[in-house]
Amino acid sequence: MKNKKAKILTVLLFLLPFLLTLASLSIGRFHIPQKDLGRAIIRAISPSAGPEVSTAYQDILFRIRLPRLLLALMAGAALSVSGASLQALFKNPLVNEYILGISFGAAFGAALSLVFLGKNFPAQITAFVFALGAVLAVLLISGRSESHTVSLLLTGIIVSAFFQALLSLVEFFANPYALQSLFFWLMGSLSLATWKDLSISLPIMAVGVVALIMMRWRLNVLSLSEEEAKAMGVNVRREKLLVILLTSMITAAATAVAGVIGWIGLIVPHLVRMMVGADNRKVIPLSAALGASVLIIADDITRVAATFEIPIGILTSIIGIPFFIILLRRSRKVWL
Amino acid sequence: MSIEVRGLSFGYKDFRLSIERLRFESRQVTSIVGRNGAGKSTFLKCLAGVVPLPKSSLFLDGRDLASLRVGERARLISYVPQELTLALNYSVLDFVLMGRAAFISPFSVPSREDLRTAGEALHFVGLEEFEKRDFSQLSSGERRLVLIARTLAQSAEILLLDEPTTFLDPKHEIGVMNLCRKLALDRGKTVIVTLHNPEIAVKYSDAMVFMKKGKVVASGKPDEILNADLLEQVYDIPMTIVPYDGKKIILR
Amino acid sequence: MFSLALAGYPVFCFQSSGKASRQITDSLGRKVILKGRADKVLSLQPEITRIVIALGAGERLVGVDYFILKHDHLFPIIFPEGRKLPAVSNTPEDMNFEMVMKLEPDIIFVSPTELQMVDSLQSKVQRPVVALASMGSFDKLLEEIKLVGRMLGREERAAELVNDFLSRIEAVRKSVSSISPGEKPRVYMSFWGSLTRTPVTYEPVDTAGGINCATGILPAYLGTIATVVQLEQIVAWQPDVFLVQGNYPPRERPVTVEDVLLDKRFGSLPAVRNRKVFYTFGYWYWWDPAEVLVETLYLARLFHPEVAAPVGLETEGNEIFKKYYGIEGGFSSLCRVLECGRWDEE
């Protein structure tokens, strides 16, 4: 009986992001009447069916709201799965998806584009490139060291600090117009994503998230000590590298188009573990679903709360923390 | 399945392991004894492949161990380390299930078959009731048994256990050693354990290996090679062997 | 006693001893006392710097801020000798107090948006610090000109400029006065390098007979007039005219007219359908009086081309720049730098 209930809840949780996306199409400061919403969706599916809908409605629904919602869904899933995977890999609850230098690498890349390189090198591309560059630097530097896990984390901190310094340098030389654009980017926002941006970043995130979900059981084994895992037949270095590359790829893709959105990769996996336990077979996919839902809800709030945009990173923490506190009180022991 | 050692030489900064010739047979429990730092754990790690193996020094039924890939080797040899470091509080069954890693590709999840094997392994060590319990709820004796179950789930022919009786009370000590014997006799495994208590070793082993400072001092059946001089040589303190009620008791 | 109180804004009175000691109330409501003449002026507020130059007191500048020296495209045109001035930071983080002391200014002008800096500067340097800005209002701009004129002893020149400004603005107001509100174009401005950043109030647009879509929205940051709107809000407004800030050369523009015209999300906007997407000057660190005047004239021609202007824009622009800064072809030079030669072809 309990099993059946758990199964139903799980199915619901997986459906939640998609239901939220559909519901969120009607949310926004610009009121679109329900019947027009319905008509617009019908028209989108089959272009000549049904009565005409104004172009303004169509543009708002499908060129502004829908890409934004899909980005929220995918980025929420990507960041949460990343955080959850890395927490298992590094056996550390304090780890988040930015730990290997991605946030500052991406920020520096964006700064470079916005301040020096201009339109020919869009910020999304340079951000992505430098985010991955930071991770590669971390991997190369910590290379073949004895306690690989610890050195990866430490090197991640150092590389982050390095890019942070470079970022400050770029800010110093920037003219105020570029600086403004940069600050806007750094605060994290889903608002300016276009279909063009998404056409590249969404598939990347999708591929990575699916791959990591497929590796969900393997992460249990990888969360053991390197010695044990190796003795059990796992090529630890190689698989660890694979996980790191996959998480980096999806985090970089999310950060490149949405800026730095903190808290999701740290809090969502913890919430999920508190609810269902440590087994990554459940934790990884549920983190994706919950992360997507949280980000969609946060984005909905930013869109209606005020006339101006509230940076989404602030909202994710405001939403997450009360849940965290409630669950902390009645959670089982997850970390040893 | 037997393991043969030929001219194994392995070392790091201040220590060198050097073993000329040694053989471990199947259907037997072989214990390796010696002082702390004699090289017992290191030797076991070499056998397990946890440290990089020098070529052509370890042979499994004639095959050079160094030539085996990680996955192949894991299907033949399994290893239980001395210390258990677990970061996340998995359930007992999930923990044992991890032993099936060599049979599951990185992108797959355990099959029904894998689940069955894990369940059986738990049953073998007598903990089938504990499937759903969290690891943190187990006593150290139970944890040790679960660890052995995981090794068993790996379905390897050769089991290496590093100090499996440390920190256990006498009852659990005996339980673990009986388990080792059962594994050897009922399942035909080659069981190799390192122990620091020579008494237990004598009682439960079919063969013993005495090590000192990285070298093998003596090896063979306990009855044949055990004597007070050997013990003193290996442990650097005077020892006496006292027969009692058909058993041998070692006094320090 | 000669005193002039203007609706609570700056107040100025002579002391009876004859030695001029002035008390001013600045934009933050602070009362600042200035003794004697201001011979050495440190201006960390670009708008004030430009006013000082327009008043013919440019040689009294002992220092300016980083922005106007390094990033402003107008400054080298209106005051070429300003290149040699030392740059003192205008943000609190890297304020060089020692340099300020070394320059021994009689008065320091700062921007009211830098609140932390105002007090720290005053207490560390012990010299009169005045926070002034027009905040996007013509009235305040003109008051500023008068106030700075008084502080520098250039009252006559200040009056001249103010009268000129007012008469030109009045001419524009008159020319669009016959147009009913329903016929006024609804205007959206994309300023400061972002599609979604816009000023909640912008007088050049209002004066030129347009309606700012963002009127009535709360600024995103206190003390400024800037806000960030949501993209769908822009679509909801359906503006007739879309203005993009073009106050910098094309290679520095994060947002361009082409970007807006090609952006599929704006496909339904009347501005895009009728191709009424244009550049305008906009501002950074407030205004230049000559530039904003020209901008207003330009916008009037843009919004209401049917109301014929007496002279071509370039000619009138150069005339204005000559009046304010005494230079020939100033507007043309600026247009060259900003590559806006085509603006005049409307």
Q: Do B101 and A239 touch (CB under 8 A)?
A: no
Assess contact for C39 and C103: CB atoms under 8 A.
Answer: no
Q: Which of A121, A180, A190, A304 to mutate to test the interface with C (most CBs of C within 10 A)?
A: A180
Domains and CATH numbers, chain A: 2-329 (1.10.3470.10)
Listing DSSP states for B27-93 in one string gives TEEEEEEE-TTSSHHHHHHHHHTSSPPPTTSEEETTEEGGGS-HHHHHHHEEEE-SS----B--BHH
What's the gap in Å between the CA of C11 and the closest CA on chain A? 33
Q: What is the pLDDT of residue A2?
A: 57
pLDDT in tens, B17-33: 888 888 898 899 999 99
- Count of CB atoms within 10 A of residue C82's CB? 17
Q: Do B81 and A332 touch (CB under 8 A)?
A: no
A129-151 average pLDDT score: 88
- The fraction of chain B above a pLDDT of 70, given in percent, is 100
- CB pairs < 8 Å spanning A and B: 100
Residue C28 tokens read as 């933050």
pLDDT in tens, A322-332: 877 877 776 67
What's the gap in Å between the CA of B177 and the closest CA on chain A? 21
What's the gap in Å between the CA of A308 and the closest CA on chain C? 5
How far apart CA C151 and CA C39 sit, in angstroms, is 10
What's the gap in Å between the CA of A77 and the closest CA on chain B? 19
User: Chains with ≥3 Cβ pairs under 8 A against C?
Assistant: A
Reply yes or no on whether the pLDDT at A306 is more than 50. yes
The CATH number of domain C179-345, selected from 3.40.50.1980, 2.40.10.10, 3.60.20.10, 3.65.10.10 = 3.40.50.1980
Give contacts of A 277-306 with C, CB under 8 A: 303, 306
B184-200 average pLDDT score: 90
How far apart CA C23 and CA B31 sit, in angstroms, is 97
Q: What is the pLDDT of residue C15?
A: 33
Non-local CB neighbours of A128 within 8 Å, separated by 6+ positions: A106, A109, A252, A253, A255, A256
Please give the mean pLDDT across all residues of chain C: 84
A133-147 average pLDDT score: 86
Nearest chain A residue to C249, by CA: A177
Structural Rg of chain C based on CA atoms: 21
Contacts with A58 from chain C: Cβ below 8 Å: 268
What's the gap in Å between the CA of C12 and the closest CA on chain A? 35
The CATH fold assigned to C3-133 is: Rossmann fold (3.40.50)
Q: Do C264 and A114 touch (CB under 8 A)?
A: no
Q: Shortest CB distance from B79 goes to which of A224, A231, A235?
A: A231
Q: What is the pLDDT of residue C222?
A: 67
Q: What is the pLDDT of residue C8?
A: 38
Q: Which of A3, A153, A220, A331 to mutate to test the interface with B (most CBs of B within 10 A)?
A: A220
Binning pLDDT at 50, 70 and 90, where does residue A146 land? low
Assess contact for A274 and A332: CB atoms under 8 A.
Answer: yes
How far apart CA C204 and CA A298 sit, in angstroms, is 38
Residue that is written with structure tokens 């009180």 in the block: A329
Q: Do C265 and A114 touch (CB under 8 A)?
A: no
How far apart CA A103 and CA A258 sit, in angstroms, is 11
Q: What is the pLDDT of residue C13?
A: 38
Q: What is the pLDDT of residue C94?
A: 67
Q: What is the pLDDT of residue C311?
A: 75
Distances (CA, A) of C83 to A7, A218, B8: 73, 65, 78
pLDDT in tens, B120-135: 999 999 999 999 999 9
Q: Do A218 and B91 touch (CB under 8 A)?
A: no
Distances (CA, A) of B2 to A119, B116, B158: 68, 28, 8
Assess contact for A83 and A288: CB atoms under 8 A.
Answer: no
Task: Establish if A308 touches chain C: CB-CB under 8 angstroms.
Answer: yes
Burial C278-316 (b: 16+ CB within 10 A, else e): bbbbbbbbbbbbbbbbbbbbbbbbbbbeebebeeebbeb
Q: Shortest CB distance from A309 goes to which of C192, C228, C236?
A: C228
Reply yes or no on whether the pLDDT at A162 is more than 80. yes
Q: Do A91 and B154 touch (CB under 8 A)?
A: no
Assess contact for A322 and A268: CB atoms under 8 A.
Answer: no
Q: Indicate where chain C has its CATH 3.40.50.1980 domain(s).
A: 3-133, 179-345
Tell me, rounded to whole angstroms, the distance of Cα C129 from its chain centroid: 20
Contacts with A216 from chain B: Cβ below 8 Å: 109
Give contacts of A 76-105 with B, CB under 8 A: 88, 91-92
Cα angle, residue C168 at apex, residues C164 and C172 outer, rounded to 5°: 165
Q: Shortest CB distance from A64 goes to which of C197, C227, C235?
A: C235
Residue C150 tokens read as 């008084």
Q: Do A92 and B87 touch (CB under 8 A)?
A: yes
User: Chains with ≥3 Cβ pairs under 8 A against B?
Assistant: A
How far apart CA C254 and CA A119 sit, in angstroms, is 7
How far apart CA A309 and CA A68 sit, in angstroms, is 13
What's the gap in Å between the CA of C265 and the closest CA on chain A? 5
Nearest chain A residue to B104, by CA: A218
- The fraction of chain A above a pLDDT of 70, given in percent, is 98
Stretches in chain C below the pLDDT threshold 70: 1-20, 90-94, 222-223, 308, 310, 341-346
Domains and CATH numbers, chain B: 3-251 (3.40.50.300)
- Count of CB atoms within 10 A of residue C183's CB? 11
Report helix, strand or coil for C12: strand
Cα angle, residue C216 at apex, residues C212 and C220 outer, rounded to 5°: 100
Q: Shortest CB distance from A309 goes to which of C230, C251, C266?
A: C230
Reply yes or no on whether the pLDDT at A226 is more than 50. yes
Q: At B158, which helix (H) or strand (E)?
A: strand B158-162
Q: What is the pLDDT of residue A238?
A: 92
Top pLDDT among C10 and A237 is at A237
Q: What is the pLDDT of residue C345?
A: 43
Q: What is the pLDDT of residue C308?
A: 66
B221-234 average pLDDT score: 85
Q: Shortest CB distance from C264 goes to which of A28, A63, A119?
A: A63
How far apart CA A144 and CA A240 sit, in angstroms, is 13
Q: What is the pLDDT of residue A315?
A: 82
Q: What are phi and psi of B15, to 5 degrees?
A: -140, 140
Contacts with C218 from chain A: Cβ below 8 Å: 306-308
Q: Shortest CB distance from B136 goes to which of A227, A235, A333?
A: A333
Q: Where do runs of H (alpha helix) occur along chain A?
A: 2-24, 34-45, 55-58, 66-89, 102-112, 123-142, 148-173, 176-186, 195-214, 216-222, 226-231, 236-258, 264-276, 280-305, 312-329
Instruction: List the helix and strand counts (H, then E) for chain C.
Output: 14, 15
Assess contact for A94 and A157: CB atoms under 8 A.
Answer: no
Reply yes or no on whether the pLDDT at B50 is more than 70. yes
Give contacts of B 123-152 with A, CB under 8 A: 134-136
Nearest chain A residue to B82, by CA: A228
Q: What is the pLDDT of residue C90?
A: 57
Top pLDDT among B141 and C48 is at C48
How far apart CA B251 and CA A259 sit, in angstroms, is 71
Contacts with B73 from chain A: Cβ below 8 Å: 233
